[in-house]
Chain A
Amino acid sequence: GENVEQHPSTLSVQEGDSAVIKCTYSDSASNYFPWYKQELGKRPQLIIDIRSNVGEKKDQRIAVTLNKTAKHFSLHITETQPEDSAVYFCAASIQGGSYIPTFGRGTSLIVHP
Chain B
Amino acid sequence: GAVVSQHPSWVICKSGTSVKIECRSLDFQATTMFWYRQFPKQSLMLMATSNEGSKATYEQGVEKDKFLINHASLTLSTLTVTSAHPEDSSFYICSVNRGDYTFGSGTRLTVV
Interface residues of A (CB under 8 A from B): 34, 36, 41-46, 49, 87, 89, 91, 98-101, 103-106, 108
In the complex, chain B residues whose CB is within 8 Å of the CB of A104: 43
In the complex, chain B residues whose CB is within 8 Å of the CB of A89: 43-44
Contact A98 B32 (CB under 8 A): yes
In the complex, chain A residues whose CB is within 8 Å of the CB of B43: 89, 103-106
Q: How many contacts A-B (CB < 8 Å)?
A: 44
Instruction: Known contacts A98-B49, A99-B97; decide if A45 and B44 are in contact (CB<8 Å).
Output: no
In the complex, chain B residues whose CB is within 8 Å of the CB of A100: 34, 46, 49
Interface residues of B (CB under 8 A from A): 1, 31-32, 34, 41-44, 46, 49, 91, 93, 97, 100-106, 108
Instruction: Known contacts A89-B43, A103-B44; decide if A42 and B106 are in contact (CB<8 Å).
Output: yes
Give the CA-CA distance A41 to B43 in the complex, in Å. Answer: 13
Contact B97 A43 (CB under 8 A): no
Question: How far in angstroms is the closest Cβ of chain A from B67?
Answer: 17
The one of B32, B102, B105, B108 in contact with A46, judged by C-beta atoms closer than 8 angstroms, is: B102
In the complex, chain A residues whose CB is within 8 Å of the CB of B100: 34, 46, 49
Contact A105 B42 (CB under 8 A): yes
CB-defined A-B contacts under 8 Å, sample of 13: A41-B91, A41-B106, A41-B108, A43-B105, A43-B106, A44-B103, A45-B103, A46-B100, A91-B101, A98-B97, A101-B101, A104-B43, A105-B42
Question: How far in angstroms is the closest Cβ of chain A from B20?
Answer: 19
The one of B46, B49, B101, B106 in contact with A34, judged by C-beta atoms closer than 8 angstroms, is: B101
Query: Nearest chain-A residue to B102 (Cβ)?
Result: A46
